Amino acid sequence: MKLKILAPLALLLTLVASRAADRPNIVFIFSDDHAWQAISAYGSNRNETPHIDRLADEGMRFDRCLVPNSICGPSRATVLTGTYNHINGFIDNSGCRFDGSQTTFPKLLQGAGYQTAIIGKWHLGSEPTGFDHWQVLPGQGQYYNPKMILNGENMREMGYVTDIITERSLDWLKKRDPERPFLLMCQHKAPHRNWSPNVTKLNHDGGKPYPEPPTLFDDYSGRGSGEKNQDMSLAKTMHEGDLKLKTTSAIPKSVRDEWNAYYGPRNEAFLKANLKGKDLIRWKYQRYMHDYLACISSVDDGIGEILDYLKESGLEENTIVVYASDQGFYLGEHGWFDKRWIFEESLRTPFLVRWPSVIKPASVSKEIVSNLDFAPTLLEAAGVSVPERVQGHSLMPLFKGQTPDEWRKSFYYHYYEFPGVHSVPRHYGVATDRYKLVHLYKPDDYWELFDLEKDPHEMKNVFDDPEYASARRTLEKELARLRDELKVPEKDPKGTRK
Ligand code: CA
């Protein structure tokens, strides 16, 4: 009698166990401010990223992954929840605190039996929730000898932050329970401002000059007051510390000799040359690229180490590896660094996925996808149901090379941080494959329309051009439809403050 009851139960348990064994592992590698223009798989003319390129060669490269709000904290809140910032409460970086009691995809995976860990940058104010193991940088974190918080305890690691985050990620992978699937979020601080390279990378480019973007000397004519009055230009905003013209206490004594041996003579030559105007901007651009791309080289090395480990340990086939940044970044385009704008350099983020058992090698998707889609995709891949609240869509059909007819053709964007650092106006808008319609509403109230087909660098506002009257009407309707569908409040939300 007992056996009769137990047999179906045993069968069920076996089925559950076999299904659990089939569930994919997830390695989510994330960086901070990595421009897609600085990845060779995306056609960079400035650097090589051989290990990120492996993900493109062996998996899928997404060419139009858009973020709903191009700034650190809000983007991370979107990744975790699959929602816009007016829903998850983290609208800007000026004092918001992530409400860790809300549903996130790591929490749901943890509940479904996944081992979960996050190592590296968190930057959401509150403590991480939904992770069995967490070791994060407090706030922005430091490049050298960083303070960290290990499962709630303050501690310090010695060395270069990118290498530490890679090593601790590998340590966790090696000691995990091999019987259960896992989610590892490996989140780099690099290449965030002020772009401090590892001293081992100071000669990474052999002193070769970098090509300048065509809009390095943009004068912002043809656009409104916001573009003219921003505070994120190489000309005005980039300071001595950014440019390594002075050595700060953030560079520890242990590496200071090597640091000064590289920068010292170059800085002397720069001061002697007494550059002005465009020549000064050109010099700043070269120094910026040297430092920023050196930071990326360390990130790329770390990705190589993780990919090698997955291969050696037989995990490659059934592990989803994601690489993305929290947003894009300006590498001198429009004369800028930083992010925040709806324009292509900051709206788009790199996004590559390798999953050998599902995705064909060297696939490319041109569809509009978003970091809103990460949570529902990874949940569906793990066989976990997606909560109603999620506003993104699972990318599983796209992984299989099938785009559903109803896939999004337009995308809603909303940036809230004004007044704030870099003085970028509050704005919202809609992006399609060809157009962008933008309402800038604080401090000044005006509209812009860009035709990316004729004006790929977004230099000319055609909002009042009668030739675009019909396109404008269509976009205005689409913008209203999206705001309604996404439940965007009429007035700016306050956000979840500290
Ligand atoms: Ca960022």
Task: Compute the distance from residue 22 Cα to the ligand 1 centre, in Å.
Answer: 34
Question: What gap in Å lies between CA 314 and CA 319, rounded to an integer?
Answer: 10
Q: How far is the CA of 417 from the centre of ligand 1 (A)?
A: 14
Question: How many angstroms does the Cα of residue 429 sit away from the middle of ligand 1?
Answer: 20
Distance 178 CA to ligand 1 centre (A): 33
Alpha-carbon gap, residue 295 to 204, rounded angstroms: 10
Cα–ligand 1 centroid distance for 122 (angstroms): 11
Q: If you measure from the C-alpha of residue 123 to the centroid of ligand 1, how many angstroms do you get, rounded to a whole number?
A: 10
Alpha-carbon distance values, 296 to 63, 119, 255 (Å): 19, 18, 19
- In sequence order, the 6+-apart residues with CB closer than 8 A to the CB of 270 are 245, 283
CA–CA distance from 91 to each of 44, 72, 77, 369 (Å)? 31, 10, 9, 20
- pTM (two decimals): 0.95
Distance, CA 150 to ligand 1 centroid (Å)?
Answer: 22
What count of Cα atoms within 13 Å lies in the side-chain half-sphere of residue 211? 8
Fold entry, domain 412-485? Arylsulfatase, C-terminal domain (3.30.1120)
CB 333 within 8 A of CB 457: yes
Query: Ligand 1 mean position to 302 CA, how many Å?
Result: 19
Residue 26 CA neighbour count, 13 Å, CB half: 24
Question: Would you say residue 79 has pLDDT above 90?
Answer: yes
Q: What is the mean pLDDT of residues 435-451?
A: 98
Interval between CA 161 and ligand 1 midpoint (Å): 16
CA of 74 to the centre of ligand 1 (A): 9
pLDDT confidence of residue 497: 78
Q: What pLDDT is attached to residue 108?
A: 98
The CATH code belonging to domain 24-196+288-401 is 3.40.720.10
Angstrom distance (rounded) from CA 312 to CA 334: 44
> For residue 453, what pLDDT band results from cuts at 50, 70 and 90?
very high
Chain centroid to CA 451: how far?
25
Per-residue pLDDT at 8 exceeds 90: no
pLDDT value of position 27? 99
In which band, very low, low, confident or very high, does the pLDDT at 13 lie, cut at 50, 70 and 90? very low
pLDDT grade for 475, boundaries at 50, 70 and 90: very high
User: Chain-wide mean pLDDT for the chain?
Assistant: 95
Q: Are 444 and 225 in contact (CB under 8 A)?
A: yes
Rounded to the nearest whole angstrom, what is the distance from the C-alpha of residue 363 to the centroid of ligand 1? Answer: 27
268 CA distance to ligand 1 middle (Å) = 32
**Domains in the chain: boundaries:** 24-196+288-401, 412-485
- Render pLDDT for 354-387 as a digit per residue (tens, 0 to 9): 999 999 999 999 999 999 999 999 999 999 999 9
Angle between helix 374-381 and helix 72-81 axes, rounded to 10 deg? 30
